[in-house]
Amino acid sequence: MKTLTLSLRNGLRRLFPAVCGVLIPLTLTGGDWRQFRGTDISGVSTEAPVPSKWNVKDGENVAWVAELPGRGLSSPIIVGDKVLLTASSGYRQDRLQTLCFDRKTGAKLWERTVWATGRTMCHEKMCVATPTPASDGQRVFSFYSSNDVVCLDLDGNLLWTRGLTSDFPNASNSLGMSSSPVVVDETLVVQVENDADSFATGLDVKTGRSRWKKTRPKRANWTSPVILTEESGRTLALLQSSAGMEAVDPMTGETAWEFTNGASTIPSSVVSGQSVFVPSNGLTVLKSGSEKKPEVLWSDNRLAPGTASPIIVSNKVFILNRAGVVNCADALTGSALWKLRLTGPHSATPIGAGSLLVFINEDGKAQVVDTAKPEGEIVGESDFGETILATPSVADGELFVRSDGHLWKIAAKK
């Protein structure tokens, strides 16, 4: 099992930008993909290329497919030899499942269910299992639209649970909640932001108790936090909202700096090196500093993402806009490079594997774009034949994709 400790990863992250002086995707090797858009939340794996084409009917490049017992817009996560994901089922969507599959064979290893303690009403396109779970390598933290947090060990033993809506009854959104939590060292950072009782909290991964809880802008927010490790070594959790971006100490919740020019409440930010790409006024790139306000490196209102979040590959930023057009720009300057129209609509954020970007639209059609080509080029198209809204996951050249009914592992035969 190729795993690195988080502290080693952090150390490497701190080292690389300082040595190279350029934007470097923060993805590290290790074969895991431990939270939404990967362990480092870059959405990129540099370990090995994924197949550009596959066929779920004849099995070409399909390592296995597993049946799922419930709906889900959450991504699978990969921890060692296990694939974990969440689902929700029942007429009231009040059965909240965490599922664990054998990464090699697709066999279901275990399944755990809790009853929702918070509200389960969602927009019909969403479901209660929309946030992606997170793992620190020893535990998995499943989070749901009902604001239930369930901590299990990797063998499925229940360690603790929290019901954040039962604790704070007005913390809910009748359209559903989607923010995926992130693990930063010993803290699970959770955004529970809505029109009525909006907050973020840092939960002790060992007990589930709040290290801190802070009031957040009172407006519905579906974005997920990201992690920034500054050159100084300070690690910050970045909380996006309609108001902008707030960088907090994950252990204390203390605010380090704020960006107050507003931001989107659907696509999330992405961090590359010391730069934070925020869906704000199109796209705004921030650089953290010693001041209470970050430096704005550049901003371009033509680079507004749709639902999918931005992604950085090889010093290029890729934005999938509402019209289904991929805009490629220089990540250092914002200069436009090329555009490529895809078949949409898309809810899932693309993920990167080497120079490839994998886009999957809501009809289940995957389009693989080679970003190394001068104008970008679709090098493979495949059809899952089912609605897919969840962002895929990738590690070690293995692509994991889920619908409401199935989980696929796409990988070339080794």
Partner 1 sequence: MRRQVLMLTLLSAAAGANLSAADLTPHVTAIKAVGAEGAGNEAAGAAVRELSKEPASSLPALLAAFDGASPHAANYLRGAVEAIADRAAAQKQALPLKDIEAFVLDRARDPRARRLGYELLLNVDADVEGRIIPGMLLDPSPDFRRDAVERFVKAAKETPEANKSEAVALWKQALSGATDADQVKSIATELKKLGEKVDLVGHFGFLTQWKIVGPFDNRGLIGFAKSYPPEEKLDFAAKYEGQTGEVAWSDVKTEDEFGLLDIAKAVSPYKGAVMYLAADFVSDKDRAVEFRLGTPNAWKVWLNGEPLFGRDEYHRGMAIDQYRVKVALRQGPNQILIKLCQNEQTEDWAQRYQLQFRVCESSGIAVAPVVAARDINRTTVTVQAGGAE
> Which residue in this structure is represented by tokens 């204390």?
252
Instruction: Count the site residues for partner 1 by CB under 8 A.
Output: 40
By the 8 A CB rule, do 283 and 305 touch? yes
Please pick, from the candidates 4, 12, 48, 121, the single residue that binds partner 1 as defined by CB under 8 A: 121
Tell whether residue 266 is a contact of partner 1 (CB under 8 A): no
Alpha carbons 177 and 128: distance in angstroms, whole number: 8
- Taking the complex as a whole, the smallest distance from the CB of residue 3 to partner 1 amounts, in Å, to 24
Contact stretch for partner 1 (CB under 8 A) within 63-71, 201-209, 233-241, 285-293? 201-209
Shortest Å, Cβ 265 to partner 1? 12
Q: Could you say whether residue 220 binds partner 1 (CB under 8 A)?
A: yes
Closer by beta carbon to partner 1, 144 or else 408: 144
Which string of x and - marks every residue 80-99 that binds partner 1 (by CB under 8 A)? ----------xxx-------
Q: Smaller CB distance to partner 1: residue 146 or 367?
A: 146
94 alpha-carbon distance from chain centroid: 23
Taking CB under 8 A as the binding criterion, the range among 61-69, 111-119, 246-254, 299-307 that sits at the site for partner 1 is 111-119
Among 200, 203, 205, 263, binds partner 1 (CB under 8 A): 203
As given in the structure block, the two tokens for residue 123 are: 């927009």
Selected from 10, 27, 46, 117, the binder of partner 1 by CB under 8 A is 117
Q: Which one, 220 or 313, has the nearer CB to partner 1?
A: 220
- Is 287 an interacting residue with respect to partner 1 (CB under 8 A)? no
Half-sphere exposure of 131 (CA within 13 A, CB side): 29
In sequence order, the 6+-apart residues with CB closer than 8 A to the CB of 397 are 45, 47, 48, 49, 50, 353, 411, 412
Looking at beta carbons only, is 1 or 196 nearer to partner 1?
196
Taking the complex as a whole, how short is the minimal distance between the CB of residue 195 and partner 1, in angstroms?
A: 4
- Whole-angstrom Cα distance, residue 201 to residue 216? 10
Least separation, in Å, of the C-beta of 177 and partner 1?
11
Which positions from 139 through 158 interact with partner 1, judged by CB under 8 A?
150, 156-158
152 vs 237, beta carbon nearer partner 1? 152
Query: What DSSP element (H or E) covers 17?
Result: helix 6-20
What DSSP designation does 15 have? H
Q: Which is nearer to partner 1, 118 or 131 (CB)?
A: 118
Residues 25, 274: Cα–Cα separation, whole Å: 10
Tell me how far, at minimum, the Cβ of 320 lies from partner 1, in Å: 25
Residue 113 or 314 having the CB closest to partner 1: 113
Is 207 a binder of partner 1 (CB under 8 A)?
Answer: yes
| Shortest distance (Å) from residue 222 CB to partner 1 | 12
Task: Give the burial class of 199: count Cβ atoms within 10 A of its Cβ; 0-12 exposed, 13-18 middle, 19 or more buried.
Answer: buried
Q: Which two tokens stand for residue 114?
A: 């809790």
Cα gap 101→97, rounded to integer Å:
13
Contacts for 192-199 with beta carbons within 8 Å, 24 or more apart? 192/147, 192/164, 192/168, 193/217, 193/219, 193/220, 193/221, 193/241, 194/218, 194/219, 194/220, 194/221, 195/219, 195/220, 196/170, 196/171, 196/172, 197/168, 197/169, 197/170, 197/171, 198/171, 199/168, 199/171
**């430096």: which residue's tokens?**
295
Chain centroid to CA 388: how far?
A: 15
Q: Which of 11, 14, 65, 110 binds partner 1 (CB under 8 A)?
A: 110
Nearer to partner 1, 194 or 307 (CB): 194
Residues 156-185 that bind partner 1 (CB under 8 A): 156-163, 166-167, 169-170, 173-175
Show Cβ contacts of residue 396 under 8 Å, excluding neighbours closer than 6 positions: 2, 31, 45, 47, 48
H helical segments located in 149-263: 164-167
Which of 196, 233, 322, 335 lies at the binding interface for partner 1 (CB under 8 A)? 196
Among 27, 46, 179, 210, binds partner 1 (CB under 8 A): 210
Distance CA(158)–CA(147), nearest Å, equals 17
Binding site for partner 1 (CB under 8 A): 90-92, 110-115, 117, 119, 121, 123, 150, 156-163, 166-167, 169-170, 173-175, 194-196, 203, 206-210, 218, 220
